[in-house]
């Protein structure tokens, strides 16, 4: 079996079945015939061997070279995502060690969804560990959600509910920027202390400019065409915005 050709793995063993199952569902939702996968953290190829090899097309990327049959860029994925034409890809796998948000922001800035077009987005989110190690919240996650870097409330003592709320807000913002909405999702949470989040998301292009509906409720776009009315939020901040932002 091809899977056995990749004995080394970069993923905690207990999480592997959930990660595979999530990717299978995303592939099924997009359909293998339509699936053009960009695997930004391609690694040793475990997810490719188990799932993505069944897609119609696959391009991987990893900063480390793995000698195998896959078509892969050996480079920093941020550079590749910024220069490649992303339109042909229908599934993006961001299986990061910690934070996938910088890559997700680049994707959001560069990939547009046509009306009713469906796109799969797979995320591995390890922010919980990062904050427990005293690293604070990834700048790109803050940026996706719209939190100023100096807001102290998100540096310490986050509950799991707040963590999930942040992820949900970031996903919705990214979908909106791509002119889409979140229509389906599958989620698994790691059982170890790292509390990794594994997400499989299906985004769909909104049907007409000026209105959108997503899994979190409905809203009308305002005149600027890109922001729903804001609910009061513990994350909303109205202070100075001159801090350094991740560059999509």
Ligand X SMILES: C[S@@+](CC[C@H](N)C(=O)[O-])C[C@H]1O[C@@H](n2cnc3c(N)ncnc32)[C@H](O)[C@@H]1O
Q: Is 129 among the residues that bind ligand X (CB under 6 A)?
A: no
When the beta carbons of 74 and 153 are compared against ligand X, the nearer one is 74
Among 10, 28, 222, 226, binds ligand X (CB under 6 A): 10
Q: Does 11 bind ligand X (CB under 6 A)?
A: yes
Q: How far apart, in whole angstroms, are the C-alpha atoms of residue 138 and residue 155?
A: 10
How near is the Cβ of 6 to ligand X at its closest, in Å? 7
Q: For 209-223, give the DSSP string.
A: TTEEEETTEEEE--T
> Is 61 or 113 the residue whose CB approaches ligand X more closely?
61
Q: How far is the CB of 43 from ligand X (least distance, A)?
A: 3
Radius of gyration for the chain, computed over Cα atoms and rounded to the nearest angstrom = 18
Using CB under 6 A as the binding rule, whether residue 196 contacts ligand X is answered as no
Show the binding pattern over residues 48-77: x = contacts ligand X (CB under 6 A), - = does not: -------------xxxx-----------xx
Report in angstroms how near the CB of residue 210 gets to ligand X at its nearest. 36
CA distances from 2 to 6, 49, 54, 69, 209 (A): 7, 6, 12, 10, 45
Structure tokens at 39: 């695997």
**How many C-beta neighbours within 10 Å does residue 146 have?**
16
Element (H, E) at 230: none
Give the count of residues interacting with ligand X (CB under 6 A): 18
Q: Does 185 bind ligand X (CB under 6 A)?
A: no
Residue 37 sits in the site that holds ligand X (CB under 6 A): no
Mark out the alpha helices in 133-228 (DSSP H runs). Answer: 139-145, 160-177
DSSP conformation letters of 87-117: TT--EEEE--SS--HHHHHHHHHH--PPTT-
* Closer CB to ligand X, 11 or 143, in the complex: 11
What is the pattern of x (binds ligand X, CB under 6 A) and - over residues 135-164?
------------------------------
Beta bridge partners of 57: 36
CB distance 89 to 36 below 8 Å: yes
> Footprint of ligand X on residues 87-116 (CB under 6 A)?
95, 97
Residues forming contacts to ligand X in the complex (CB under 6 A) are 10-11, 41-47, 61-64, 76-78, 95, 97
């Amino acid at each position: 079996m091809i899977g056995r050709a990749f004995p080394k793995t970069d993923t905690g063993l207990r999480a592997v079945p959930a990660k595979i199952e999530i990717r299978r569902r995303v592939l099924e939702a997009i359909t293998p015939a339509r699936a053009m996968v960009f695997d930004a953290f391609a690694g040793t190829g475990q997810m490719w061997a188990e799932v993505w090899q069944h897609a119609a097309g696959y391009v991987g990327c990893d900063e480390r070279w793995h000698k195998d049959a896959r078509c892969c860029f050996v480079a920093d994925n941020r550079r590749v995502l910024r220069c490649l034409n992303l339109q042909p890809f229908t599934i993006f796998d961001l299986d990061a060690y910690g934070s996938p948000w910088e890559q997700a922001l680049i994707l959001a800035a560069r990939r547009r969804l046509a009306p009713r077009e469906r796109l799969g987005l797979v995320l591995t989110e390890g922010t919980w560990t990062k904050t427990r190690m005293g690293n604070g919240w990834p700048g790109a996650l803050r940026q996706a959600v719209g939190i100023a870097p100096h807001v102290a409330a998100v540096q310490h003592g986050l509950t799991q509910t707040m963590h999930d709320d942040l992820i949900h807000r970031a996903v919705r913002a990214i979908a909106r920027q791509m002119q889409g909405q979140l229509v389906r999702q599958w989620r698994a949470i790691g059982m170890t202390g790292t509390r990794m989040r594994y997400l499989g998301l299906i985004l769909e292009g909104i049907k007409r400019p000026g209105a959108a509906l997503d899994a979190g409720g409905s809203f009308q776009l305002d005149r600027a065409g890109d922001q729903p009315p804001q609910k009061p939020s513990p994350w909303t901040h109205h202070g100075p915005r001159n801090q350094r932002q991740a560059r999509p």
